[in-house]
Amino acid sequence: MPADYPVERAGQMVNPITAWDLLTDSRVRPGQWLAVTAGYSSISTMVMQFAQRRGINVIALVRRSHQSFDLKTLGASVILDLSDLKASIREAVMDINGGAGLNGIIDNVGGPVSGELIRTLALGGQMVINGGMSAERFELHNFDVLLSGVEIRANIYRYFFSPPAEADRPVLREIIDIFGQPGFHVPVGGLHALTEFKLAVANSLDRADLGKQIFRM
């Protein structure tokens, strides 16, 4: 990485690599529709920004909208507030995109919402599972998958089991360059000296919405 790369971004490099791979694995093409759950999470906001650069339409699903944080500025085409939903998720999505359905889903939550999203996938669509914030399960019938040729796969961080290879250098360079741009939004909850560890831990537990807590050493 460049010597002058912002430390608060370098310290979060796992996230943009994950977001990049999630978007790639979704196989959604420019002009198509992608749904992203946990819309306010760091991973999801990074997915949206990468998707915007590729011309992909994003529906961001959130438990509750926050007026102080407009996801549309980060690349969301539509924000679907689950606390204010008047119809089923499938009906809402079909209304948004004229019945086209979803071409891909990146799911960080799980639960019944995931089942509804899968049943909203267009022919050949794909769900990529990245997390399981919900304690609930979702149910599917075989025909929910078979009749639409749906694929469901898991995302495992690409360097969880092995380090980067030389062949990865071009894509990592591209991710590093985009992630380092001032216009790329990266939430940072605070920059701390090691002596402020109690404050950093408290903020991580109580104010996760602020972003990551970064130590300077």
Instruction: Report residue 121 CA to chain centroid gap.
Output: 17
- pLDDT tens by residue, the chain, 217 residues: 899 998 889 989 999 999 999 999 999 999 999 999 999 988 999 999 999 999 999 999 999 888 778 899 999 999 999 998 988 999 999 999 999 999 999 999 999 999 999 999 999 999 999 999 999 999 999 999 999 999 999 999 999 999 999 999 999 999 999 999 999 999 888 889 999 999 999 988 887 667 788 888 7
| Residue 209: per-residue pLDDT | 66
Instruction: Report residue 88 CA to chain centroid gap.
Output: 22
* The two structure tokens encoding residue 95: 């209304």
DSSP of 108-172: SS-SHHHHHHHTTEEEEEEEEE-----SS-----HHHHHTTT-EEEE---TTSSSPPPGGGHHHH
- Dist. CA 114–CA 47, nearest whole Å: 18
Q: Are 52 and 31 in contact (CB under 8 A)?
A: no
Q: Are 189 and 210 in contact (CB under 8 A)?
A: yes
- What is the value of pTM for the model shown? 0.91
Inter-CA distances, 179 with 38, 46, 52, 65, 121, Å = 20, 9, 14, 25, 30
What are residue 114's phi and psi, to 5 degrees? -60, -40
Inter-CA distances, 5 with 43, 118, 141, 168, 195, Å = 20, 39, 49, 19, 24
Q: Is 34 helix (H, G, I), strand (E, B) or coil?
A: strand
